[in-house]
Structure 1
Amino acid sequence: MALQSPTYWLAEHPSIVNFRWSPTQSWGSTWSFLFTAISAYIAAATTLYTLLILSRRRRPIPLGPVPAVHSLAVALISAVVFVGMLLSAEAEIRETRWFWSRTKTSTPFQWLLCFPLGTRPSGRVFFWSYVFYLSRFLHLLRTFFTILRRRKLTFFTLFNQSILIFMSFIWLEFSQSFQVLAILLTTLIYSVVYGYRFWTAIGLPRARFPFVVNCQAVLLGCNLVCHIGVLFLHLLKGGCNGIGAWGFNSVLNGAILFLFLKFYAKKMHSRNTRVSEDEESTHWGSVNLKEKHT
């Protein structure tokens, strides 16, 4: 029974199995909330940054253990979402395998990339997609940590943070294909990187190579390969659910990849300077990817 408890709480609990994404049942599931939240984030960040500039304060504002606690919280939440999504995907595959064996139209890996047409945002995997969406708001705090430490606030930081929230929303709104595998990959990397950030924040040794930027490169590379797989399956199988949202998502991911490569080439090959890890991206996919080398 003890071994079954994690599976029950992460994949078989009635609240997870019976989850349904809808404006009446899910907090933050309306378009008005999405745009209001993003607008409030941009306004708050730019206002704080402007006030600090006008105050002519040059020294960083002490934050104490807050950034370390934040990194630990994100790492733990990401680990829980990863395990929950993994168990939920396994349960969904197990329960529908009989249908696939009869129709011979899909395999478990194909389902991870390409939802059948008509898929609705309900059930286990969409519950964890919803939790992932909500967790994106916790990531926004890193922007304010950066500002209070007197680091530069860029347009791309605000843009990319907003876009990542927006993409998480449309995954649910349109039951977009590929989101299960995307969340598994992302939360796995998040748990490692934010665990590393917590490790360094409490004064433990840093890696002797650009750890965070390499993890980001791996994540972007995996996303690129998976997007190609979704397109292939969409053309081969006659359609994947939410392909319109996937197309929009692909454009945004392509822009993020371009900015990442551009910044990486500029900073890693044109300059040989030591920079603080606090200046690296406040989110995944950001172009502000500086990392301290030791």
Structure 2
Amino acid sequence: MMQRLNFYLSEHPAIVGFRWSHALCWGSTWSFLVSSIAVYVVVSIFLHLVLALLLRRGKPVPLGPLPAIHSLSMSLISATIFAGLLVSAAAEIKETRWFWRRSKTPLQWLLCFPLGTRPSGRVFFWSYVFYLSRFLHMLRTVLVILRRRKLVFFHLFYHSISTFMSFLWLEFSQSFQVLAILFTPLAYCVTYGHRFWAAIAARRPCFPLVLNFQIALFGCNVVCHVAVLLLHFFKGGCNGIGACLFNALLNAAILLPFLNFYVRVYFRRSTKHSNKFFNFS
């Protein structure tokens, strides 16, 4: 059973022989990326405005089991990506370590691809699957709008930038993407699994749990970006460093408003608890 699972996660010919190509891979062109993100933003805003005009304020659209199905799908897909990339990265390290064992450790390889690395093989196959999963992730915006929650700019910005960054990982064989992809599906698996459980149990999701996982994910990204820069300047260079620097700027653009929101939420919660204590005493 384990051998069969290992075969489908890292040894299948489609995985081992994968090659990122504009001619062979669906959604691999710049025009597709830009147009798909533009359609996502326009459709989300249009749907939000239409529902605001046609439906009474605060009245949700009945969605039935769709939110639970989407959460379960995202959780299972994220778990598959995490397991597949973990096994594939271990296989790549085992097969190629003889080539760089004197100059790199496995952790250094995970952070810093050697110069001249091409987007092919096991690791980049799962990077491509992660890129495709970003489009399924965008469907959550539609579900949120249909539930009549307020559509904020940051929601659209986060999904658009995340899709754009995952495209850069493939296009420029960017270093650090292995750890970034491992961190992100792990966080998604937990948060979407929790949302699925909350949906079938008819309970409200534990918002601090989701928020804390996102903050932990951003914190790991910051630490890894610093490590990549140190390896690039002191260990002979990392592949795709230009895209990595641009990726770091995009992460900062996401992190700053997210931290601001995080602080405001917890300040509001602490004030609420303080008021309760004050009234009780």
Q: Same fold (TM over 0.5)?
A: yes
Q: Does 1:93 align with 2:93?
A: yes
The Cα shift of 1:57 comes to 2.4
Q: Distance in 1 between matches of 2:68 and 2:86?
A: 27
Q: Which residue of 2 aligns with 1:188?
A: 186
Whichever residue aligns with residue 37 of structure 1, its letter is S
Q: How far 1:188 sits from its partner (Å)?
A: 0.9
TM-score of the superposition, structure 1-length normalised?
A: 0.89
The one-letter code sitting in structure 1 at the alignment partner of 2:88 is: S
Farther-moved stretch of structure 1 (55-64 vs 43-52)? 55-64
What residue in structure 1 maps to residue 163 of structure 2? 165
Gap regions ≥5 residues in structure 1: 275-294
Counterpart-to-counterpart distance in 1, 2:111 and 2:259: 25
Secondary structure of the 2:221 match is helix
Number of matched pairs: 271
Relative to structure 1, the CA distance from residue 73 to residue 56 in structure 2 (aligned partners, 3 Å threshold; closer, same or farther) is: closer
Name the SS for the 1:210 alignment partner.
helix
Report the AA paired with residue 63 of structure 1. L
Q: TM-score, normalised by structure 2?
A: 0.93
Shift of the 9–159 alpha-carbon distance from structure 1 to 2, 3 Å rule, reads same
Q: Deviations over 1:120-171 (max 9, x none)?
A: 0000000000000000000111101111111111111111111110000000
Equivalent residue, structure 2, for 1:278: none
Structure-2 residue corresponding to 1:13: 12
For 1:52, the aligned partner's letter is L
| Distance (whole Å) between structure 2 residues aligned to residue 204 and residue 55 of structure 1 | 27
- The separation in 1 between residues aligned to 2:212 and 2:157, in whole angstroms, is 22
Q: Could you tell me how far 1:3 is from its partner in structure 2?
A: 2.2
Structure 2 vs 1, CA of residues 209 and 155 (structure 1 numbering), >3 Å: closer, same or farther? closer
Q: Residue 71 of structure 2 aligns with which residue?
A: 71
User: Are 1:141 and 2:123 matched, yes or no?
Assistant: no
Distance 1:260 1:208 in 2: 18
In the other structure, the counterpart of 1:202 is: 200
1:118 and 1:178 map into 2 onto residues whose CA distance is: 15
Equivalents in 1 of 2:167, 2:272: separation in Å?
A: 38
Deviation above 4 Å: which 4+ runs of structure 1?
204-209, 271-274
Match of 1:176 among 170, 174, 177: 174
Question: Aligned-pair distance for 1:270?
Answer: 3.8
* Cα distance in 2 for residues equivalent to 1:98 and 1:270: 54
Structure 1 counterpart of 2:215, from 210, 217, 223: 217
Percent of aligned pairs with the same amino acid: 62
- In structure 2, the gaps of 5 or more residues are 274-281
SS of the residue aligned with 2:2? coil
Q: Please tell me the root mean square deviation across aligned C-alpha atoms, in Å.
A: 1.6
Partner of 1:30: 29
**Larger helix fraction of residues:** 2
